[in-house]
Amino acid sequence: MRRLLAGFLVWVASAAPGSAQEVDPERARALVDGLQSDLQEVIAKVAPAVGAVTNYAGTLDEKTGKVDLRPRGQGSGLIITRDGFFLTNVHVVTGASRITVAIEEGIFEADLYADSSEGYVKGDIALLKLRGKKRFPFVDWHKGDSDRLEPGAFVFAMGNPYGHAMDGKPVATVGIVSGKGRAASERGYFYVDALQTDAEINPGNSGGPLFDSRGRFVGINGLIASRQGRSNSGVGFAIPINQVKLFVRRLLKEEGGSVQYGYHGLVLATTPKEDGAVVRYIQPGSPAMEKGVRWRDVIFKAKGKRINNRSDFVNVVGRLPAGSVVTLSVRRGRNVKVFRFKLTDAPASNRSGPPLKGYPLSQRGFLGAEYAGADGGAVLLTRVLPGGPAARAGMKTGDELRKIGGQSVTGPTLVAGLLKSFRSGDAVQVTWSREGRTQQRRLTLCSLAEAAGVER
């Protein structure tokens, strides 16, 4: 594949009308043939380790004890060790009663070994263990280096789009790295410092590998950005292998458990001059607060890397698992201070996960406000309904929602989950902050119709 660019340029030059330099068509064809041969060789080498995943849902008739298993979804993944450890996405295997993986050698049962689904950020890395053999084909997960990739680098994705690789023969699509350091989210899963690629990724490709031109594993494909439903639009996102490596080392030791993304407790904003990330709020008792970071500190360096804005901070620190040690350099007034602390698991109230059980939508209570998640787990009000409960309590657009009913909120999913436990007309204590000043009021939640502005 090294000859890809050369062959492409030669082909373009030979096809261009009135080109100043004549290009030998035979040479162009030879380069293209060589490219095709190289690509086929690389794909054939890694294909045996690429698997098609099927997630089966189970039902139990409690009166008869009869169990029924039916396919509920499909995805992709990659065998990364000789003894059958297999990487995929959490969302591919969530809720599975049975998991199978189809590779060239056959269909194998698999067990969820460990994942990254818990924590204040809901991760999308899952480690499975295949059963049925002692030796599997695999691709060494240590060799890829996503930090060396730059926009324009050739890559190819492999997997099971729309279930077309259930015969164990994975589908390959070729493209380039379109961007780095991207943030993306879907269905509650948040990707930090992600690779963006135009290699076609469609439903069923989730969890499948992204390879560089030499067949080295450089990322786990997972999300698609599309305005035309869940189909490829040339904008796909992959978790970079260098981030994956940080988790795999821990996941291999956490059978039956989960490795969380590290929690620091900071809510940040970009400084007006874009010369750092300013602390807008710090969670009491968090690792950062315990080591001395304070409100209005400006972080300009993290883990030795320059921080110009909050996105830089997220890409450097937000990609790390719990247990990682972070060193921050901050400006406090005219002084520079350095803090070193270990990222931890998130407090129970800040963890992501299934929404809390509660009242149906028609009976549920509402704040009369819209909100969105921000870096560091913050929840900011994006719209306050005039005359609604939030407005009557004095809340305004831009305020940061801190607590509902005495429970801390970090992320829209948790806000929605907490509100499910209240009915329209219930009184609830709400805490929020504005420019560092904390306020709280007891307000009466409104109905769905009132929140939608239909009734008043």
Give mean pLDDT, residues 390-409. Answer: 88
**Number of domains forming the structure of the chain:** 4
Please identify, among 215, 239, 259, the residue that sits at the C-terminal boundary of a domain: 259
Interior CA angle at 452 toward 448 and 456, to 5°? 85
Give the C-alpha separation, 193 to 183, whole Å. Answer: 6
Give the tens place of pLDDT for each residue, 101-142.
999 999 999 999 999 887 667 789 999 999 989 999 999 999
Question: Are 287 and 246 contained in the same domain?
Answer: no
> Across the chain, which distance is largest between two alpha carbons, in Å?
82
Does any domain span residue 419?
Answer: yes
What percent of the chain is modeled with pLDDT above 70? 85
Tokens of 366: 């509402």
| Tokens 């801190």 sit on residue | 402
Q: Are residues 437 and 387 in the same domain?
A: yes
Residues 177 and 190 both lie in one domain: yes
Are both 230 and 301 inside the same structural domain? no
In a domain, 456, yes or no: no
Inside any domain, residue 380: yes
Q: Of 407, 390, 412, which Cα lies nearest the Cα of 399?
A: 390
Beta strands 257-258 and 171-186 are unpaired
Amino acid at 262: G
> 390 near 444, Cβ under 8 Å?
no
Specify which of 228-237, 311-320, 410-419 reaches the highest per-range mean pLDDT. 311-320
Residue 363 sits in the same domain as residue 331: no
Residue with tokens 């890409």: 315
Q: How would residue 32 be classed by pLDDT, with cut points 50, 70 and 90?
A: confident
Q: Are residues 213 and 74 in the same domain?
A: yes
Residues 6+ apart with CB under 8 A from 69: 56, 57, 58, 97, 98
- Using pLDDT thresholds of 50, 70 and 90, give the confidence band for residue 355: very low
Q: Which domain holds residue 34?
A: 4-44
Pair (187, 199) in one structural domain: yes
Residue of higher predicted confidence among 440 and 12: 440
Q: Looking at residue 150, which CATH number applies to its domain?
A: 2.40.10.120
More confident position, 343 or 383: 343
Residues 130 and 69 in one domain: yes
* Least confident among 210-214, 296-300, 430-434: 430-434
Same domain for 218 and 312? no
Q: How far apart are CA 79 and CA 103, in angstroms?
A: 10
pTM strictly above 0.75: no
Residue 310 belongs to domain with CATH number: 2.30.42.10
- Whether 323 and 417 map to the same domain: the answer is no
DSSP state letter for 450: H
Q: Does residue 136 form part of some domain?
A: yes
Query: Residues 147, 278: one domain?
Result: no
